[in-house]
Structures are given as structure tokens and as C-alpha cells.
Amino acid sequence: MLIENYNKVRANIDKACESVGRDPSEVTLIAVSKTKPLSDIEELIKDGVEDFGENKPQELKEKYENVSKPVRFHQIGHLQTNKVKYIIDKAVLIHSVDSVHLAEVIEKEAAKRDMIADVLIEVNYAGEESKFGISGSDTEQLVRDISTFPHIHIRGLMTIAPFVDDPEENRPIFRGMKELLLDIKSKNIHNVDMEFLSMGMTNDYEVAVQEGATLVRVGTAIFGERNYNI
């Protein structure tokens, strides 16, 4: 039963919060349903789950349009400019903005629909070659550049930490992300809120929560292994 997996993850998040004196209500668990059938989402909706994460814009769009009850879909994966139109008015939050070029397209599509797009800036904190995201040192400038777009509201930062055997290895990255968030917050940049910190996945979400995550994106621990070949 998926809800049992979900509840187990939720309980671990609550425990991680308590271990560092955080209020568990500060942390939202996003069930990452990418590649999984709509029936899995429906099963969790039935039990009251409201936040889901998708990687592919077309998949988000299709699930958004076919789900039996409105829920919140997060665009967590890399977003190509030509796919923005699929999710701009469907994703509650775009976690993966990492360039002015992408922001320009989001701005244009949001303006067309007379809406404001909520986004996070994706930071490649560890500087991994294979990952999308802006470097930690360039993040503030990117935030400043995008903050001038009237139809975009920056709400915080997101990172995908390296895949490691021991989640403790990622603790310095999560801690650094929190410091970066607080540093940018202290600059009081107009039209920028540094309220959300999206970090932590199946392998490392408890450490991420201890270091200040407010949005955790967990797929495998809830839905099981993904099969990309189907």
C-alpha cells in the first residue's frame, strides 16, 4: 500500500525535525510520481495526499488533466524552454529555473496568461558536471536578474545533491544551501522571497530536513523503483 510507504517517510521527516528542534509543519513532502501511472496518484489522493512531483512537462500536463480531483503538481525536473507552455499554468511551483534564458520564456508565457509563475532557482551546489543548475557563487546574481521579471516570483532555492552511499556526505551541501538561502534573504531583493528550500530525496531526505529543507522530493521510498524502459 502506497500510503503506508508515504506515512513512513512522513514519520521519518517528523522525527528528523524533532531531532533538531524544528516544527514538522514547516516541511512539505512531495510524492515524486514520475514514470508512475495515474492510478498510483489516485490511490494517494484518496488518502489525502496533495503534493506530487513530475519531471517531464508532458507527463505533468497529462496527469494534471486526468486526475480526478485537483492536486498540486510540482515541476521538479529540468525544463526546456520549448516545454514551458505545457506546465506554466499547471505546475504550482517550478523547482528548476537555472538561467535567464529559461526565465525569459517563463516570463513571456506567464504574461500571456496574465499570471505570476512561482519558481525556485536550481543550484548545482556540488558543481557536478552532469547536473543542471547554477553554481552557488553565481546564484545571487541570477536571482537579481530574474527578480526584475514582473510575471515571475522567486520563492526560494532547490538542489539535487550527489548520489552517495552515506547521506552524511551530503550534509555539508545541505548546510551550505541553507546558508546561501539565508544570505540571499538578508539582501532583501525586491520581488524575491527566500522561504522555500527544496532538497532531499529517498537516499538523503532526513539529513536534508535536519539541515533546513522545507520541501522534500521523495519518489522511490513511496512508489518503489522506477522502470524507465516501459
Ligand X SMILES: *Cc1c(COP(=O)(O)O)cnc(C)c1O
Binding site for ligand X (CB under 6 A): 32, 34, 55, 76-77, 160, 201-203, 217-220
Q: Tell me how far, at minimum, the Cβ of 148 lies from ligand X, in Å.
A: 27
Q: Of the two residues 75 and 139, which places its CB atom closer to ligand X in the complex? A: 75
Q: Of the two residues 149 and 173, which places its CB atom closer to ligand X in the complex? A: 173
Q: Of the two residues 94 and 151, which places its CB atom closer to ligand X in the complex? A: 94
Rounded to 5 degrees, φ, ψ at 122 are -85, 125
Q: Tell me how far, at minimum, the Cβ of 44 lies from ligand X, in Å.
A: 15
What gap in Å lies between CA 87 and CA 79, rounded to an integer?
10
Q: Of the two residues 7 and 191, which places its CB atom closer to ligand X in the complex? A: 7
Rounded to 5 degrees, φ, ψ at 160 are -110, 110
Q: Of the two residues 27 and 151, which places its CB atom closer to ligand X in the complex? A: 27
Q: Of the two residues 151 and 158, which places its CB atom closer to ligand X in the complex? A: 158
Closest by CA to 70, choosing from 90, 87, 40, is 90
Q: Tell me how far, at minimum, the Cβ of 226 lies from ligand X, in Å.
A: 7
Q: Tell me how far, at minimum, the Cβ of 114 lies from ligand X, in Å.
A: 29
Q: Which residue is nearest to ligand X (CB)?
A: 219
Ordered DSSP codes for 5-50: HHHHHHHHHHHHHHHTT--GGG-EEEEE-TTS-HHHHHHHHHTT--
Alpha helices by DSSP H, listed for 67-160, are 84-87, 100-112, 136-146
Q: Tell me how far, at minimum, the Cβ of 124 lies from ligand X, in Å.
A: 12
Q: Tell me how far, at minimum, the Cβ of 224 lies from ligand X, in Å.
A: 9
What gap in Å lies between CA 3 and CA 189, rounded to an integer?
40
Q: Which residue is associated with the grid cell 535567464?
A: 100
What gap in Å lies between CA 109 and CA 81, rounded to an integer?
10
